[in-house]
């Protein structure tokens, strides 16, 4: 029997490893529109996938993919996974929601139904720590520093959870920062904006300070957060002073070194007084940066109350999130 067009495409991709739409058009001798109809159908069936962006797009065999209907996971579990799961692979492929979870399980050779239940149970374990979309971090920072300068401290999510690795927010934060991808930064901002706006409203925050970055990048995450959040509150000017050798906080494993780093390199360049100030940082390890910055603001009499907010935090105590 003569193989149909879909079979020919599959066999051709297998023989080449990766192909473009132009390769398929020339090989099959059909129109470009017909090729795109066929590859769209094969993608929907989970038999091939694409990498790259126009004009350089390649199609590969999805050997680790399965059809959506080939599972017995209940709809409630699927919905929870759809809302929470995101994995960005080592090759930069984005696997999201339940379909992404299927691929993650197959890659690890984990049974889908059993692993899906375990994922939902793991999420439930961390849920009690959140109230109104925020995790209270005061017990952690008080347990780390005898002289705590922040009056309240919150996190939006944990950076990672046991077995399943980085959370959705953790993935977005890591790759938005490392890849300097403004699209990912916008997605991150869109996800965290409601909680930040609610926090500002609830605690009647007058001004906001963004912890300045240490490592020089063309696209700075914290500056993009400040720009894209479109907050109307006045900004507290915080400056990261230049030193002969740049030493990022994430490279310091000792708490005393982190305190010294924050104390000597972050300055408050502000003269206005505010009743309540919100300090925003990306990932919190020890809390030294936020605490030392809060100390300086209070010592200069610039604020009565300071609230700290980190996008993500490690679940355990003082732990350096060295990737971010």
Residue-level pLDDT, tens digit, the chain, 324 residues: 356 898 899 999 989 988 999 999 999 999 999 999 999 999 888 788 888 888 888 888 876 544 444 468 999 999 999 999 999 988 888 899 998 898 898 888 899 999 999 999 999 999 999 998 999 999 989 988 989 999 999 999 999 999 999 999 999 999 999 899 899 999 999 999 999 999 999 999 999 999 998 888 888 999 999 999 999 999 999 999 988 888 887 788 888 988 898 899 999 998 899 999 999 999 888 899 999 999 999 999 999 999 999 999 988 754 545 566
Using a cut of 0.95, tell me whether the model's pTM lies above it.
no
* CA 281 – CA 283 distance, rounded (Å): 6
318, 320, 276, 311: which is closest to 297 by C-alpha?
276
CB 280 within 8 A of CB 188: no
Select 132-313's CATH number: 3.40.50, 1.20.120, 3.30.450, 3.30.70.
Answer: 3.40.50
133, 132, 151: which is closest to 279 by C-alpha?
151
Its CATH class, for the domain covering 5-61, is: mainly alpha
**What is the domain partition of the chain in residue ranges?**
5-61, 75-127, 132-313
* CA 147 – CA 142 distance, rounded (Å): 8
């Amino acid at each position: 029997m003569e193989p149909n067009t879909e079979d020919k495409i599959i066999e051709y991709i297998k023989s080449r490893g990766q192909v473009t739409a132009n390769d398929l058009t020339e090989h099959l001798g059909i129109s470009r529109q017909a090729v795109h109809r066929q590859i769209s159908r094969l993608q929907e069936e989970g038999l091939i996938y694409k990498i790259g962006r126009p004009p350089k797009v390649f199609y590969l065999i999805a050997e680790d993919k399965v059809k959506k209907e080939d599972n017995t996971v209940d709809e409630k579990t699927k919905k929870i996974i759809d809302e929470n799961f995101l994995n960005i692979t080592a090759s930069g492929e984005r696997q999201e929601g339940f379909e992404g979870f299927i691929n993650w399980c197959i890659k690890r050779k984990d049974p889908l139904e059993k692993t899906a239940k375990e994922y939902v149970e793991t999420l439930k374990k961390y849920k009690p720590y959140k109230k109104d979309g925020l995790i209270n971090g005061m017990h952690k920072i008080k347990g780390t520093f005898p002289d705590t300068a922040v009056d309240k401290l919150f996190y939006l999510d944990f950076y990672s959870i046991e077995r399943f690795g980085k959370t959705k927010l953790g993935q977005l934060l890591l790759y938005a920062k490392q890849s300097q991808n403004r699209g990912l930064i916008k997605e991150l901002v869109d996800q965290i904006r409601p909680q930040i706006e609610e926090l500002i409203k609830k605690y009647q925050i007058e001004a906001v300070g963004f912890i300045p970055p240490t490592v020089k990048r063309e696209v700075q995450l914290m500056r993009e957060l400040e720009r894209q959040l479109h907050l109307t509150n006045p900004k507290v000017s915080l400056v990261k002073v230049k030193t002969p050798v740049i030493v990022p906080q994430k490279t310091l494993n000792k708490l005393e070194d982190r305190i010294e780093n924050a104390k000597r390199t972050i300055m408050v360049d502000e003269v206005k007084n505010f009743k309540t100030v919100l300090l925003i940082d990306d990932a919190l390890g020890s809390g030294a940066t936020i605490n030392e910055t809060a100390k300086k603001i209070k010592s200069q009499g610039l604020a009565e109350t300071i609230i700290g907010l980190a996008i993500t935090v490690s679940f355990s105590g003082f732990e350096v999130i060295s990737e971010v």
